[in-house]
Amino acid sequence: MTAARAVTTTPKRRGAVSRGDGQPPSAPLELTLQAEDYLKAIYELEREGDAAGTNALADRLDIAAASVSGMLQRLARLGLVKTERYHGTRLTAAGRAVALQLIRRHRIIESYLVARLGFAWDDVHDEAERLEHAASPQLIEAMARVLGNPTADPHGAPIPTASGEIAERELASLAALDVGASARVAGVNGRDPRLLRYLGERGIRPGVKVRIESREPFDGPIVVTVGREKQAISPGAAAHVRVEPKAP
Amino acid sequence: MTAARAVTTTPKRRGAVSRGDGQPPSAPLELTLQAEDYLKAIYELEREGDAAGTNALADRLDIAAASVSGMLQRLARLGLVKTERYHGTRLTAAGRAVALQLIRRHRIIESYLVARLGFAWDDVHDEAERLEHAASPQLIEAMARVLGNPTADPHGAPIPTASGEIAERELASLAALDVGASARVAGVNGRDPRLLRYLGERGIRPGVKVRIESREPFDGPIVVTVGREKQAISPGAAAHVRVEPKAP
DNA sequence: CAGAAAAGTTAGTACGTACTAAAATACGGT
DNA sequence: ACCGTATTTTAGTACGTACTAACTTTTCTG
Ligand SMILES: [Mn+2]
Ligand SMILES: [Mn+2]
Ligand SMILES: [Mn+2]
Ligand SMILES: [Mn+2]
For A49-60, the pLDDT digits (tens) are 999 999 999 999
Stated in angstroms, how far is B69 CA from D2 C1'? 29
How many angstroms does the Cα of residue A125 sit away from the middle of ligand 4?
22
Averaged pLDDT, B229-240: 93
* CA gap A33, A130 in Å, rounded: 8
* CA gap A228, B6 in Å, rounded: 57
A53 touches strand C (CB under 7 A): yes
Contact B15 A20 (CB under 8 A): no
pLDDT averaged over chain B?
A: 90
Give residue B25's pLDDT. 52
* CA gap B92, B168 in Å, rounded: 19
A77 touches strand D (CB under 7 A): no
- Entry pTM: 0.92
Spatial CB neighbours of A14, under 8 Å, sequence gap ≥ 6: none
Nucleotide D12, nearest residue via CA and C1': A2
Give residue B13's pLDDT. 65
Helices (H), B10-124: 33-47, 54-61, 65-77, 93-117
Give residue B209's pLDDT. 95
Contact A139 B117 (CB under 8 A): yes
Helices A137-146, A93-117: crossing angle, 10 deg rounding: 50
Q: Is the pLDDT of residue B5 over 90?
A: no
Q: Which of B139, B146, B142 lies closest to B21, judged by CA? A: B139
Give residue A13's pLDDT. 65
Three-class SS of residue A85? coil
Give residue B191's pLDDT. 86
Averaged pLDDT, A77-88: 97
Q: Is B64 on the interface with A (CB under 8 A)?
A: no
- Across-strand partners of B211? B182, B225
Contact A142 B119 (CB under 8 A): yes
pLDDT averaged over chain A?
A: 91
Stated in angstroms, how far is A218 CA from D28 C1'? 28
Give residue A4's pLDDT. 28
Contact A136 B127 (CB under 8 A): yes
Stated in angstroms, how far is B15 CA from C7 C1'? 28
B64 touches strand C (CB under 7 A): yes
| Residue B129 φ/ψ, nearest 5 degrees | -60, -30
Q: Is the pLDDT of residue B141 over 50?
A: yes
pLDDT band per the 50, 70, 90 thresholds, residue B247: low
Q: Which of B86, B246, B94 lies closest to B178, judged by CA? A: B246
> Which one is predicted more confidently, A12 or A134?
A134
Contact B17 A130 (CB under 8 A): yes
The one-character DSSP state at B157 is P
Which CATH number describes the domain made up of B33-91? 1.10.10.10
Q: Which of A137, A139, A114, A135 lies closest to A124, judged by CA? A: A114
Q: Is the pLDDT of residue A100 over 50?
A: yes
Spatial CB neighbours of B123, under 8 Å, sequence gap ≥ 6: A138, B193
- Listed by number, the residues of chain A in 175-204 with a beta carbon closer than 8 Å to a beta carbon of chain B are none
- Which ligand approaches the C-alpha of residue B190 most closely? 3
CA B92 to chain centre: 18
pLDDT band per the 50, 70, 90 thresholds, residue A1: very low
Q: Is the pLDDT of residue A167 over 80?
A: yes
Cβ-based contacts of A139 with chain B (< 8 Å): 113, 117, 127, 131
Count CB atoms within 10 A of the CB of residue A216. Answer: 11
Lowest mean pLDDT among A216-220, B20-24, B164-168: B20-24
Contact B117 A133 (CB under 8 A): no
Taking a C-beta distance cutoff of 8 angstroms, is the pair A91, A84 a contact?
no
The residue of chain B nearest to residue A18, with distances taken between CA atoms, is B130
Domain boundaries, chain A: 33-91, 172-246
Taking a C-beta distance cutoff of 8 angstroms, is the pair B199, B166 a contact?
no
Q: Which of B128, B28, B43 lies closest to B89, judged by CA? A: B43
Chain C bases closer than 7 angstroms to a protein Cβ = 7-22, 25-27
Averaged pLDDT, B57-75: 98
Q: Is A116 on the interface with B (CB under 8 A)?
A: yes
The residue of chain B nearest to residue A17, with distances taken between CA atoms, is B130
B54 touches strand D (CB under 7 A): yes
Stated in angstroms, how far is A90 CA from C3 C1'? 32
pLDDT digits (tens, 9 = 90+) for A64-73: 999 999 999 9
Chain D bases closer than 7 angstroms to a protein Cβ = 7-22, 25-27
Residues 35-64/A with CB within 7 Å of nucleic chain D are 35, 62-64
pLDDT digits (tens, 9 = 90+) for A19-34: 876 445 555 679 999 9
* CA gap B110, A17 in Å, rounded: 19
Averaged pLDDT, A91-119: 98
What's the half-sphere exposure (Cβ side, CA atoms, 13 Å) at A238? 26
Contact A134 B130 (CB under 8 A): yes
Stated in angstroms, how far is B76 CA from D3 C1'? 34
C-alpha distances (whole Å) from B172 to each of A227, B185, B202, B244 are 64, 10, 20, 6
**SS3 letters across B110-135:** HHHHHHHHCCCCCCCHHHHHHHCCCC
* CA gap A240, A123 in Å, rounded: 17
Q: Is B136 on the interface with A (CB under 8 A)?
A: yes
The residue of chain A nearest to residue B141, with distances taken between CA atoms, is A117
Stated in angstroms, how far is A59 CA from C2 C1'? 31
Cβ-based contacts of A143 with chain B (< 8 Å): 117
Fold annotation for B172-246: SH3 type barrels. (2.30.30)
Contact B118 A143 (CB under 8 A): no
Q: Is the pLDDT of residue A6 over 50?
A: no
pLDDT digits (tens, 9 = 90+) for B16-46: 888 876 445 555 679 999 999 999 999 999 9
CA B144 to chain centre: 17
Give residue B19's pLDDT. 85
Give residue B225's pLDDT. 96
Report the sign of the C-alpha dihedral through residues B50, B52, B57, B59, in that order.
Answer: negative
Taking a C-beta distance cutoff of 8 angstroms, is the pair B231, B241 a contact?
no
